[in-house]
C-alpha cells in the first residue's frame, strides 16, 4: 500500500550506491564465512577437539546476539587501541568484521551437521585408502554445498541489517531504508527501496538454491546406518581446536572485551 502512495522523493543515485556497497559487504561476509566456517565445521564434526562442547557453545553466541552489539564492541575496543585501530574499524572492513561474527557460526554449525551425516563405513574406507588428509578433503567436499548455501543465506541476511553500518559510520542500503522510514517518514520511498533490496536478494538466492539445493537434500537426509565416531587423531584435534578457538576469539572474544572494558574503570553496570 505504501508503494502505491505518492512520495516526496524518488530513488536516488546515492541509494543505488548504497545497494552496491551492501552487495559488496554481503559478498565479503559470505566468502569469509564459507572459507573459515567449512573447515572449522568439518574438523569439529570429524575429530574430538579439546573442549569441543564448550567451544561450540561459544561459537553459537554471536549468532544469538544482535549484530549492533558486536559493532559497538569493536568500536569501543578500537578507541582503546588508538587512532589507527579507530580508522581500521570505522570502515567497510569494520562493518564486514562485525557482520562476520554472526555469519561464521551459521556455516560452522551447518558444516558440522552435514559432516556428522557421513557414515562410519564411508569415513573408514577413505581413511584406509588415503589417511586423515583424504578423509578431511572428502568431508569438506561433501559438506561444501550445505556450507555454501548457509554462507549465501548469511550474506543475504546482512543486506537487511542496518546496525553495524550506522554505528561504524558507513552507508548501507538497510541504513538508508531505516532513515527514510523513521527519520524522513517517507513511507512510499521506503517501500520502493525495500522492494529493490528484496529483488536484489532474490536474484542472488535463486541460482544459489538451484545449484546447491539437490546436494543439500542428499547431505541432510537421515540414513539407517552407523554414524562415524569422532576421531582422536592428535594433530587434527589440535589443529581443529586452534581454528575453532581462533574463530571464537575473533567473533566473540574481542568484541566482548570492547563491551566489558568500560566496566573496569568503575562505570555503573
Q: At residue 216, does pLDDT exceed 70? A: no
Q: At residue 116, does pLDDT exceed 70? A: yes
As a whole number of angstroms, the distance between CA 252 and CA 73 comes to: 10
Give tens-digit pLDDT for 152-205: 889 988 888 888 888 888 888 888 888 888 887 888 888 888 899 999 888 888
* 42 Cβ contact list (under 8 Å, min separation 6): 111, 112, 115, 136, 139, 140, 143
As a whole number of angstroms, the distance between CA 45 and CA 117 comes to: 9
Angle between helices 234-248 and 52-64 (to 10 degrees): 30
Residue range 106-119: mean pLDDT, rounded: 87
> What 3-state DSSP class applies to 35?
helix
Burial level of 141, CB count in 10 A (0-12/13-18/19+)? Answer: exposed
State residue 134's pLDDT score.
Answer: 86
Residue range 211-234: mean pLDDT, rounded: 65
As a whole number of angstroms, the distance between CA 215 and CA 206 comes to: 15
Q: At residue 34, does pLDDT exceed 60? A: yes
Quick one: cell of 94?
Answer: 569494520
Specify the DSSP class assigned to residue 227: B
Beta-ladder partners of 47: 231
Give tens-digit pLDDT for 65-98: 888 888 888 888 888 888 888 888 888 888 898 8
Q: At residue 266, does pLDDT exceed 80? A: no
Q: Residues 106, 150: contact at Cβ < 8 Å?
A: yes
Band (151; pLDDT cuts 50, 70, 90): very high
State residue 123's pLDDT score.
Answer: 82
Amino acid at each position: 500500500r505504501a508503494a502505491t502512495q505518492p512520495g516526496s522523493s524518488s530513488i536516488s543515485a546515492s541509494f543505488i550506491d548504497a545497494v552496491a556497497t551492501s552487495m559488496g559487504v554481503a559478498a565479503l561476509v559470505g566468502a569469509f564465512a564459507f572459507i573459515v566456517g567449512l573447515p572449522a565445521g568439518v574438523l569439529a564434526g570429524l575429530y574430538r577437539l579439546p573442549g569441543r562442547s564448550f567451544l561450540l557453545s561459544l561459537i553459537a553466541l554471536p549468532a544469538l546476539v544482535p549484530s549492533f552489539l558486536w559493532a559497538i564492541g569493536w568500536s569501543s575496543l578500537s578507541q582503546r587501541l588508538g587512532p589507527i585501530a579507530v580508522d581500521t574499524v570505522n570502515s567497510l572492513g569494520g562493518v564486514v568484521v562485525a557482520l562476520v561474527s554472526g555469519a561464521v557460526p551459521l556455516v560452522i554449525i551447518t558444516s558440522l551437521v552435514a559432516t556428522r551425516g557421513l557414515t562410519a563405513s564411508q569415513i573408514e574406507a577413505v581413511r584406509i585408502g588415503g589417511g586423515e588428509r583424504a578423509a578431511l578433503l572428502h568431508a569438506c567436499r561433501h559438506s561444501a554445498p550445505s556450507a555454501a548455501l548457509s554462507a549465501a543465506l548469511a550474506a543475504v541476511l546482512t543486506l537487511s541489517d542496518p546496525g553495524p553500518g550506522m554505528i561504524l559510520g558507513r552507508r548501507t542500503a538497510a541504513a538508508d531504508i531505516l532513515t527514510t522510514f523513521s527519520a524522513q517518514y517517507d513511507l512510499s520511498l521506503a517501500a520502493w527501496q525495500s522492494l529493490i533490496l528484496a529483488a536484489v536478494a532474490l536474484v542472488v538466492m535463486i541460482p544459489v538454491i538451484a545449484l546447491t539445493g539437490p546436494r543439500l537434500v542428499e547431505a541432510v537426509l537421515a540414513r539407517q546406518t552407523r554414524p562415524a565416531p569422532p576421531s582422536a587423531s592428535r594433530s587434527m584435534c589440535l589443529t581443529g581446536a586452534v581454528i575453532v578457538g581462533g574463530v571464537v576469539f575473533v567473533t566473540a572474544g574481542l568484541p566482548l572485551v570492547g563491551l566489558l572494558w568500560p566496566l573496569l574503570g568503575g562505570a555503573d553496570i
